[in-house]
Structure 1
């Protein structure tokens, strides 16, 4: 579980940082509302999943499943937008880790 918590916290940090700095500075496709919302939603779900696991909530598996779906969608969006390889890899890693928790 500790590995999944770390993956979620790392992904939360990456998505939030990339959305609020890199994407805003790049403009264009990087700031399209659908993409930016997805990145912020992913960051929030990662934080929430980490919190559920840290508190040993019996619902953590269900929250992790939703988190994995958000991470997969975010990775796909970041890949399509381009120049976001680090974020793609972080989201894919978190999705894999969260799926293992379900």
Structure 2
């Protein structure tokens, strides 16, 4: 059963496809950021400390966002602030990873995952008004 199928039972006013997209993109981004941080640690380069911190912050925010958005069927929408924070964290992490993506493939791949999540969050926020 897909996430969308489960969300359809929530009865939320927001489009299920957008909720599902954020959940999947955020979970994917969390995994990519965690893997990127680990790969950066393996590099043993102290210049990657900012990237590692950004990766870990983004991974935690994305993981929390995926979980909270999965419960988004509740009335009221304070969780939209978390989606906004997730979008900002993804943008910052993508920018950091892009700054040295030409030297580290894991950073390039992570930046792409961050940009996908950033876009999914933006789309949901725009739909929510």
TM-score (norm 2): 0.72
Matches within 5 A, 1:1-102: 1-20=19-38, 22-28=39-45, 29-30=47-48, 32=49, 34-56=50-72, 58-82=77-101, 83=104, 84-102=107-125
5+ long unaligned stretches in structure 2: 1-18
- Larger RCO (alpha carbons 8 Å, 6+ apart): 1
SS at match of 1:48: helix
Q: How far is the alpha carbon of 1:61 from its aligned partner?
A: 1.4
Tell whether the 8 Å contact from 1:12 to 1:42 is kept in structure 2 after alignment.
yes
Tell me how many residue pairs correspond in the alignment: 99
TM-score (norm 1): 0.89
Q: How far is the alpha carbon of 1:35 from its aligned partner?
A: 2.1
5+ long unaligned stretches in structure 1: none
Separation in 1, partners of 2:80, 2:123 = 9
More helix per residue: 1
Tell whether the 8 Å contact from 2:30 to 2:60 is kept in structure 1 after alignment.
yes
